[in-house]
Amino acid sequence: MPAIDPPAVAAIRRFNRFHTRWVGALGGDLHGSGFGLTEARVLYELAQRDGWRAGELARELGLDPAYLSRLLKRFAGFGWLERGRAQGDGRAFELKLTAAGHAAFAPLNEASRKQVAAILTRLGESERSALVTALDRAQGLLSGVPTVRPVPLIRAHRPGDIGWVISAHGRLYAEEYGWDISFEALVAEIAAKFLHEFKPGKERCFIAELEGEPAGSAFVVQESEEVAKLRLVLVEKRAQGFGLGKKLVREAVGFARAAGYRRMVLWTNDILRAARAIYVAEGFRLVAEEKHRSFGQDLVGQNWELDL
């Protein structure tokens, strides 16, 4: 067996201890139902569908077949379970939860649902989304089942997003281009002005979200009654390959058109080649450029325009 990082082992063990306590699995009386964790899980699976075969259920749950057999006999003794010959195989039996079995399971299921709902009420919308994403990711990694390629979404900004926009711009441009903190200061000024002077219906911040976390941004701000300005277009490295830059720009252009603007403008620098390619593809034209020294670098600034 290859050497495993001790902190990783400790982290999983620590989470296992937290989770078993959190779900009430340590006391042998899950949610006051009188069932232990294993009994409750078997009952849950039987309630989800008819037709389980005992061997199949034992393999699915990783249970000793003899232990499962004793548990099923107990359920049958309560009148919760019935067995019938499997269609097409007269030697096999299929399991079916009776009406009494479903009635016994219902309070346990409701208690579990209420426990989780109570915990989730303590979290904000973005925290719940992040939690669901993290749990899905953990399940995929631990099960070894290939995960489905995540689907990004684009939404309007929420409280807390603008702080992320500032941080992400400062970090990414420092890493990629060596820009100093004066760029982050500029982004902070733009973002603060957007919040202070926000004009609903005429301005919009689009946030790209991937696996529950912000991964990109684009702002539409009012330059004049007829001119919109595209600002702060960014896509995180981890979100590259999803076409998010193009989608964000298209969302921004579509919003500007719907808002009644006649023209959209933007300012960028010639070293931002990926962004420039998107602007060209969307119909922007270069109207001016000028050398300047900003953010600790010698740059060539460019002005682009798009007739809407």
- The pLDDT, as a whole number, for residue 207 is 96
- The pLDDT, as a whole number, for residue 15 is 84
Determine, yes or no, domain membership for 101. yes
Determine, yes or no, domain membership for 130. no
Sign of CA dihedral 166, 171, 176, 182: positive
Same domain membership, residue 118 and residue 205: no
Determine, yes or no, domain membership for 165. yes
- Written as one string, the DSSP assignment of 13-64 is HHHHHHHHHHTT-SSS-GGGSS--HHHHHHHHHHHH-S-B-HHHHHHHHT--
Instruction: Output 26 or 262, whichever has higher pLDDT.
Output: 262
Same domain membership, residue 208 and residue 97: no
Q: What is the average pLDDT value for the chain, to the nearest integer?
A: 88
Determine, yes or no, domain membership for 29. yes
Same domain membership, residue 10 and residue 86: yes
Residue 212 exposure: Cα atoms within 13 Å on the Cβ side: 14
Residue 101 exposure: Cα atoms within 13 Å on the Cβ side: 27
* pTM exceeds cut of 0.95: no
Determine, yes or no, domain membership for 43. yes
- The pLDDT, as a whole number, for residue 267 is 96
Average pLDDT (23-30) is 68
Q: In this model, does residue 249 exceed pLDDT 80?
A: yes
Instruction: Output 211 or 179, whichever has higher pLDDT.
Output: 179
Name the domain count of the chain: 2
What CATH number is given to the structural domain containing 191? 3.40.630.30
Same domain membership, residue 253 and residue 115: no
**Please, which pLDDT band fits residue 206 given cuts at 50, 70 and 90?**
very high
**Please, which pLDDT band fits residue 148 given cuts at 50, 70 and 90?**
low
Same domain membership, residue 181 and residue 100: no
Dig out the tokens for 180 from the structure.
């100093």
Q: In this model, does residue 239 exceed pLDDT 60?
A: yes
Same domain membership, residue 204 and residue 302: yes
Q: Of the ranges 41-55, 247-261, 263-277, which one carries the lowest mean pLDDT score?
A: 41-55
Determine, yes or no, domain membership for 142. no
Same domain membership, residue 106 and residue 163: no
Same domain membership, residue 292 and residue 207: yes
Range of the domain at 184: 153-307
Q: How far apart are CA 224 and CA 219, in angstroms?
A: 15
**Please, which pLDDT band fits residue 4 given cuts at 50, 70 and 90?**
low
Query: Which residue, of 101, 122, 143, is where some domain finishes?
Result: 122
Average pLDDT (115-140) is 80
Q: In this model, does residue 226 exceed pLDDT 80?
A: yes
Backbone angles phi, psi at 301, to 5 degrees: -80, 150
Same domain membership, residue 200 and residue 107: no
What CATH number is given to the structural domain containing 49? 1.10.10.10
Same domain membership, residue 160 and residue 300: yes
Q: In this model, does residue 27 exceed pLDDT 70?
A: no
In angstroms, the Cα distances linking 199 to 159, 229, 285, 306 are 16, 13, 27, 21
Residue 145 exposure: Cα atoms within 13 Å on the Cβ side: 7
Average pLDDT (116-121) is 85
**Please, which pLDDT band fits residue 6 given cuts at 50, 70 and 90?**
confident
Determine, yes or no, domain membership for 282. yes
Determine, yes or no, domain membership for 143. no
Same domain membership, residue 210 and residue 301: yes
- The pLDDT, as a whole number, for residue 218 is 97
Same domain membership, residue 303 and residue 164: yes
